[in-house]
Structure 1
């Protein structure tokens, strides 16, 4: 039997009509509990001063709450990111690489990264010209911290629309609970804690667009989502997937526009723009679709003709859940919503991202770490609220009661997961301490002159990019005079010692040595 109130556009009209304060005060209808309506806290006919003050407090609180939460999470994300960089836990891939890209944009140059490959234009690997927006900021505030703070801001500002969406379905406490749950969600935490990535731009664009979409303002939502095609090539398909809820709403023209624009942008990027810039004249990630490979380094020269398309199609159902890490990722993605997100057609927008990740041979794409799930978080949380609104119009009594109190589920799950995700580090003293090996490393890196050419190991690269002339990923060496900055700690000690001895045998001289770090020079 169909639930009441699920006719095309009905849910969206209810979203548009709801006011946060009134939703917290209006009584439910006796026959059908209207979606997103919370029972009153005070007497229905109490018009005293206390009621007026309470309603005013709720209006002010609900209006300011999204911005207060965003500011709080901006401070948390920024603190966490900068402390990681201070402890030398950021890397060449990808903070050092993207700093070179943004630095090039700030100088009105092509986005070349010597860390990726000497003289390599990164627009031949991924299509993310939106990074040029950071160029003017970097020109004023050069350094890796600029990228980390920018990412923290972009991700934190997405809390505003998600909290607004929650405010149309829950009272003040439920709204706060969902906003906090989103800010602490594992996909957001993993992204903030893993250097810098272009997808930071996608998170607020998706969130603000979903806010408008759930109000039935589909053209405004499209305007928010359109820049996604400049963030990364696969996000054109995410833009196209918004056609699914639009089709269910019988918005035929809008759905067709999404498919046409999104699919065209995707095809143009991977078949024309990226191959035109790539030195191998192909899209660099076709090799990830070869199921015989199980690594993070697919052959970037693989042409489309070598991709086993028929095998991919036949094995698609299995590849979406096996190995087990894949279905665990799906489970972990939906668990914070109590699986209520499955009630919303908005959830279809996660499908393109899950398809390219799970059909890839790159095992790093399958799990819950790194930045790959950040773009899914706004979609899942918006789908959760949409699902709650739909459940509150259900004929099933226990589903309606569950929906009324559902805001606690995302918060409980996010807090339960927090122990295993990075922001919990802020509660430990060691997070604020600078290890002795880092102090020693800085003594060595300070010997590198500004403007020099340096081949640096992973942890040293982000410390040098802003002031060095060129930085490559060790052991890649550019010809001529230059330096080699080598970290000698962790699991790479034997490897580092081998290379130090080898380079000295090739004419390098030792300039500085401290526990855990060595600097070599070639004249």
Structure 2
């Protein structure tokens, strides 16, 4: 052990074991500032997007309607989802995805009733994972005697900052609101609690994860496989594997159908078979064809490499990364939903915390190997070499994170155009203001969030719903229409069906049928 590192560790050791459990006022203040600043940036991005009509009915209004129903002590009905997807006007969120944990957000609607509430809640949830990631990183480095306490703190801040600006978090913020916002926090709590030996907290966090979405049983099972290779955690690992697989089955095959949904509604593996049993049999009988699906199209592998890039691929050296396998296979073996395998949207948020904690663990394992090899060669600076490796890795985490920012949605936050108001956006605001409160309205995808809190909002789609009010867009292609010409034709059709123009500007039209 080199003199410098040895002296620092000995000095910290003389202060008592509590030195390795940070509780200092400075650390609490710094973590609070980083967490609050991150939440503020996320909320700013989301709220500006909402105000500039960049949010969408699919999926922000879906969640807004459902959680508003929760806040009124009703079933989480989303009329916009039920009508557009032909489930009926009484369709609930629980028939779409098994996400009962969303009910925890209902009391926030007693403070402010509107989709902006969900965007702020998501910002806070994503940022709230930072202190747990920091503590995990600090403990892995300081308790493991890889770095002195002071240096371990700095590396922990670097990793936490890397998470805060990472593209999986940023793209989650950029695409409305989703239940994925709960997962980084719950996974961070679970893995930090497991590291600290607080098994009851581990179990509670796992229970919370199972209530986020029906496929989170795969994540819990993945964590179980990870624990199976760790001494002292094998019973817990086995319990997680069994519980996770069972929970995923019950959620998809029993609970979702019980609430009006269909167990195969999101089946995306027609290349393997028509159901899970057939897909498993085909995967076993035709392994080469199944493996080919993992990089067909090549965008799948690009997304996977980009997922590991913020921590320089070091999760590949950690058994923690085993936890990623079930969810990665779920996404990359699909052949029906392209959104699942691209880098946009929120899907990587489900695994981003495992990636970062796996990166920390991988860095620790590599540094130990570096130190062991140096000691075997009789190099007296073995500890210094290991410390340099971790320090340089931490610097690279920040550098890579910052380098990716201009290419992620976060980069838009630093451009004037993100905040400016165009003539078309002014027209959108005027069109929205022409819709009376409390009416039934079919609204264009990007205008629906502005109406959701004060009207019964349906999606203006390819099927005439005959709502008395319609807020249409004939100026730019919008979901779910196939082309702008189709939207223009729909407006012309509506005008022949008794609808009258109440407003028209920059492509936006307000139609009313008496």
Give the conservation status (yes or no) of the 8 Å contact 1:290–1:307.
no
Work out which of the residue numbers 149, 152, 175 in structure 2 matches 1:171: 152
Please tell me whether residue 82 in structure 1 is matched to residue 64 in structure 2: no
1:312 is displaced (CA, Å) by 3.9
Q: Which has the higher helix share?
A: 2
Please tell me whether residue 260 in structure 1 is matched to residue 242 in structure 2: yes
What's 1:236 paired with? 217
Pair 114,238 (structure 1): closer, same or farther in 2 beyond 3 Å: same
1:58 is displaced (CA, Å) by 11
Give the conservation status (yes or no) of the 8 Å contact 2:460–2:471.
no
CA offsets 1:286-341 (integer angstroms, 9 cap, x no match): 2x11129xxxxxxxxx9638954433443332222332111112211222222222
Matches within 5 A, 1:86-485: 86-118=51-83, 119=89, 120-168=91-139, 169=141, 170-250=151-231, 251-278=233-260, 281-286=262-267, 288-291=268-271, 304=275, 308-313=279-284, 314=287, 315-361=289-335, 362-394=337-369, 395-397=372-374, 400=386, 401-479=388-466, 482-485=468-471
1:224 is displaced (CA, Å) by 1.5
What's 2:29 paired with? 64
TM-score (norm 2): 0.85
For residues 279 and 476 of structure 2, the distance between their equivalents in structure 1, rounded to whole angstroms, comes to: 39
Pair 63,136 (structure 1): closer, same or farther in 2 beyond 3 Å: closer
Give the conservation status (yes or no) of the 8 Å contact 1:459–1:487.
no
Give the conservation status (yes or no) of the 8 Å contact 1:274–1:283.
no
What's 2:17 paired with? none
Structure 1, unaligned runs of 5 or more: 1-27, 31-36, 48-54, 293-301
1:114 is displaced (CA, Å) by 2.0
For residues 237 and 114 of structure 1, the distance between their equivalents in structure 2, rounded to whole angstroms, comes to: 29
- CA RMSD, 1 decimal: 2.7
For residues 23 and 457 of structure 2, the distance between their equivalents in structure 1, rounded to whole angstroms, comes to: 55
Q: How many residues align?
A: 469
After TM superposition, the structure 1 stretch with the greater mean CA deviation from structure 2, 90-99 or 243-252, is: 243-252
After TM superposition, the structure 1 stretch with the greater mean CA deviation from structure 2, 356-365 or 401-410, is: 401-410
1:209 is displaced (CA, Å) by 1.3
TM-score (norm 1): 0.83
For residues 80 and 129 of structure 1, the distance between their equivalents in structure 2, rounded to whole angstroms, comes to: 27
Give the conservation status (yes or no) of the 8 Å contact 1:103–1:135.
yes
